[in-house]
Structure 1
């Protein structure tokens, strides 16, 4: 089956290359910044089996208004993630409440999920945590339950209700960042506490049964319920400070009580704040030949977005990586930004008042969706860069798109295997990855050396990555046959 799907992916790539050579599209022209045009733009329709950049992009939180959804569509966001509860917060035996969401459980969850479905947004519900009255560490909701029964009742109520019509959810996440002693130095994880926990890290001691308690009291009971309703289990977001070797130990841990591996009760491996390259070992070990279905990161971004290049580079790299790793399901690879909404200048949007506006990170996603908005395919032809230039390439619809990071001044990239384009009229554009502004035509030039296309382009003196060291400019080179 994987062999057939891989061949289908190659056929899509060949069709895209043929379309690039054949032309039949409008030439690129200088235009207003892409994000200024995107508010009313509808996302392109994907053909059956097509992979799109928007498949990869999610965020934490929910859209709350029609304007919010317009901005989500403009940024290419197709997933949201949020809590469900509050469960039984005050005492044993009280009515199970699972109709609220948000950090303070102050928003109506059913209406959120209905709005998401109507707007084409997938919903991931986070299952957690322990009511304080049932906590093994007194008063600490981030610790294991004394009695597993109330946890199972909560999970059962959530999955039973929201996997059924009219919600039809299929993805549920178990807990958040449960881990023991972290390779980054913390004796206990932020969201999984046991004996000897102390808010003062210097006084805290390791939680020796962290793995066993999590697997036996949290993960396996919840996973069995999720599978019973034919839904998918998303692992609870392994923290970046935890270390991948340690994560592997947890995934492959076999419960002495049930004789089961946690890994066999995970459909989507999930990590937080890792680079795309960090996913490779997880793919090779657990996804390429199973048992997991895919790899998600349910939190990325946060203060990393102070670097304005972070998000566009991450998602372009993610797409290039996924295209070569059996991306045979649109939900196989997803990363969710933390957070789309806020007051810090690095969030995707500024909440206002008076009105919500894009921050630079949000604008960069709008430009990405506008520039790389077609059906995606791998580009395997050789790409040579000059000094001071780094580039990655993929095919988007009929376009060859290269994301380039470069020094100021005239730069050059050489691309092999495009000799079929020599007979046509090739148009190129140099698009600022943060603003969407397109350079004037005299800032680009094409030359040929047999089958080698030589693209020369001028990077502005004022680069858009001033926080980088050394400063670089991030942009897209788009090549299109306009014959």
Structure 2
């Protein structure tokens, strides 16, 4: 859905959302444990202080850039640690003009160097999209989403970008080649939205399949660009496989061996990248291409968009992503990443509403604040299984010294048990039931914990008015947090 800064048109909401309050610090009473036992028995590895420990913020990025110091503060509150944007305009009018690579944004109206320096100063990673073809160099006349006729012109643009931005003071390490290049999609479209060949027509019913889609992309775009990126000791991020393309087709593209270059595209990909897939869909890619190589990791450079109309979507996605990553050798902070599309706008499901008069959080943005505050410590897997009542379900991880369970449940009293989790010797533990969208902590009497030598059990009262009222069936999304007390 990202096109060199342009976005697919989405119907705007007529109404404006008022600002949601940023969370107050989570607070709760210390609750004595059954039999005088206390806080949490965590796995030994989760108790060690490890500089290499992963955090939920490592996983969270967004499309676009923070435009001001106040935007950066909002990103920090939501846990956003990466941005993604265009670089250009290159040579839009002809091969004889000067190469321009200092602009970014929908109309190349933003100053890219200042954005990248601001990101670096604030600990925000930057991913640049390399694309597209100037109309004067396009194989489909006047179509910038088609392959370049003159590959050397494409290479000149790529080299200029990577040479400049991989060097000080920018020091970028990651560059993405194109966006959503594909052939015939599994959903039935004969040509992909951002990769056009002969017989393309804006009316899909009149388009015919692009027979050389894979070969042209590999030989004229991907491998020429990837060679340049690696020559500057930087990493190649695949150009975002569209969810409509189908994973089996994606694997065919990755493993395609060019008869001209005698090389596979896969051998010129460092980070597998897809768009709008569920976390569970990533596992086949991990098992086949990351677990034992050759790829270094898996990114999704676009998630969310209208999926965020479901207010549960984003917090569930990133919590699931963290649990998934912890079980799949998350040995580098950049190994796994997902980027929200888009962090601001006028639709009520975006992370923020851009105003006027001022930018405010929408429900999706507020849910990220809650997630970051609730599971903001160093993360580790919780090795013990969870046993829920029939009206509830969820997953758990360890954040710092806390056990954090994300639960989806029906109204009324529910419970979860964790067999085999033994308590240590301290006296008390704090337990909270936290609304995953607002951060509101339920009254003390609405949550209870018991713990013996072999079983932890938590009972919690789900409110009658659930925060997923539009879901079918209506459910409430919350965190059960068990926090050791000295």
**Offset of residue 110 of structure 1:** 0.3
Aligned equivalent of 2:330: 327
**Offset of residue 171 of structure 1:** 0.2
Aligned equivalent of 2:22: 35
Aligned equivalent of 2:431: 428
> Which among 255, 278, 292 is matched to residue 289 of structure 1?
292
TM-score computed with the length of structure 2 as normaliser? 0.90
Matches within 5 A, 1:372-391: 372-391=375-394
Matches within 5 A, 1:91-130: 91-130=94-133
In 2, the alpha carbon distance for the partners of 1:226 and 1:448 equals 55
Aligned equivalent of 2:155: 152
> Which among 436, 455, 476 is matched to residue 479 of structure 2?
476
Confirm whether residue 52 of structure 1 aligns to residue 39 of structure 2.
no
Render the CA deviation track for 1:306-352: whole Å, top value 9, x for unaligned.
00000000000000000000000000000000000100000000000
Contact 2:423 2:451 in 1 (8 A): no
Contact 1:34 1:370 in 2 (8 A): no
**Offset of residue 467 of structure 1:** 1.8
Moved over 4 A (4+): none
Larger deviation: 254-263 or 444-453?
A: 444-453
Contact 2:254 2:264 in 1 (8 A): yes
Render the CA deviation track for 1:34-86: whole Å, top value 9, x for unaligned.
83348xxxxxxx95201000000000000001110000000000000000000
> Which among 240, 251, 254 is matched to residue 257 of structure 2?
254
In 2, the alpha carbon distance for the partners of 1:266 and 1:101 equals 24
**Offset of residue 448 of structure 1:** 3.6
Contact 2:134 2:144 in 1 (8 A): yes
Render the CA deviation track for 1:75-127: whole Å, top value 9, x for unaligned.
00000000000000001121000000001100000000000000100000000
Aligned equivalent of 2:305: 302
Confirm whether residue 64 of structure 1 aligns to residue 67 of structure 2.
yes
In 2, the alpha carbon distance for the partners of 1:456 and 1:144 equals 59
In 1, the alpha carbon distance for the partners of 2:74 and 2:24 equals 12
Contact 1:34 1:367 in 2 (8 A): no
User: Is the partner of 1:202 in helix, strand or coil?
Assistant: helix
Contact 2:279 2:321 in 1 (8 A): yes
**Offset of residue 281 of structure 1:** 0.1
> Which among 164, 172, 178 is matched to residue 161 of structure 1?
164
Contact 2:351 2:363 in 1 (8 A): yes
> Which among 276, 280, 284 is matched to residue 283 of structure 2?
280
In 2, the alpha carbon distance for the partners of 1:126 and 1:448 equals 52
**Offset of residue 481 of structure 1:** 2.0
Confirm whether residue 184 of structure 1 aligns to residue 187 of structure 2.
yes
In 2, the alpha carbon distance for the partners of 1:275 and 1:356 equals 29
Larger deviation: 379-388 or 122-131?
A: 379-388
In 2, the alpha carbon distance for the partners of 1:261 and 1:131 equals 26
Task: List alignment gaps of at least 5 residues for structure 1.
Answer: 1-32, 39-45
In 2, the alpha carbon distance for the partners of 1:48 and 1:450 equals 32
> Which among 82, 85, 88 is matched to residue 85 of structure 1?
88
**Offset of residue 260 of structure 1:** 0.3
